[in-house]
Amino acid sequence: MSRKRSVNITTDAKSNKKVKNDFLYFSKACNILKTYLRGEDAKKWHPEFGELWEIDTDQKKEIRENLNLCIRINSTNAFSYFILAQLPPENEQSINDYLQFLSFVDQSTIPVDKFLWPKDINIMKSSAHFSVALHFRAKEPMTPNDRKQARKHFEACLCLRPDATRRDFYAKFLKQTDPGSEVTKIVSGQKSLKKYFTLSGSNMRDICHRFGLLTPGFQNYVKKTYVDTNFAMQEFVVNEKQWLITFVHPFCEEEFPISVTEAILDFTYPL
| Other Cβ atoms within 10 Å of 50 Cβ, number | 14
State yes or no: cis peptide before 89, omega within 30 of 0.
Answer: yes
pLDDT of residue 20: 61
Residue 127 — φ and ψ, nearest 5°? -60, -45
Q: Are 265 and 208 in contact (CB under 8 A)?
A: no
Residue 36 — φ and ψ, nearest 5°? -65, -45
| Other Cβ atoms within 10 Å of 107 Cβ, number | 8
| Other Cβ atoms within 10 Å of 58 Cβ, number | 9
pLDDT of residue 40: 46
245: burial class by Cβ within 10 Å (0-12, 13-18, 19+)?
Answer: middle
pLDDT of residue 95: 95
Cα-atom radius of gyration of the chain, to the nearest Å? 24
**CA angle centred on 131, ends 128 and 162, rounded to 5°:** 70
Q: What is the pLDDT along the chain (271 residues), one digit of tens a residue?
A: 444 454 443 444 444 555 567 889 999 999 988 887 776 444 555 555 455 667 788 888 999 999 999 999 999 999 999 999 988 887 899 999 999 999 999 988 777 777 778 778 898 999 999 999 999 999 999 999 999 999 999 999 999 999 999 999 999 999 999 999 999 999 986 567 888 888 876 788 888 888 989 999 999 999 999 999 999 988 888 888 788 778 778 878 888 888 887 887 777 767 6
Domain residue limits, the chain? 12-119, 153-268
C-alpha to C-alpha distance for 78 and 71, rounded to whole angstroms? 9
pLDDT of residue 13: 43
> Model's pTM, two decimal places?
0.81
pLDDT of residue 46: 55
Q: Look up residue 105 and give its DSSP letter.
A: G
Q: Are 165 and 154 in contact (CB under 8 A)?
A: no
**102-161 pLDDT, tens digit each:** 999 998 877 777 777 877 889 899 999 999 999 999 999 999 999 999 999 999 999 999
Residues 6 or more apart in contact with residue 202 via CB below 8 angstroms: 196
C-alpha to C-alpha distance for 131 and 48, rounded to whole angstroms? 10
Positive or negative: CA dihedral 199, 201, 203, 209: negative
C-alpha to C-alpha distance for 102 and 130, rounded to whole angstroms? 12
Residue 216 — φ and ψ, nearest 5°? -55, -35
Q: Are 70 and 80 in contact (CB under 8 A)?
A: yes
pLDDT of residue 223: 92
Query: Phi/psi class of residue 23: alpha, beta or left (left: φ > 0; alpha: ψ in -120 to 50)?
Result: alpha
Task: Using alpha carbons, select from 149, 161, 151, 230 the residue that is nearest to residue 193.
Answer: 230
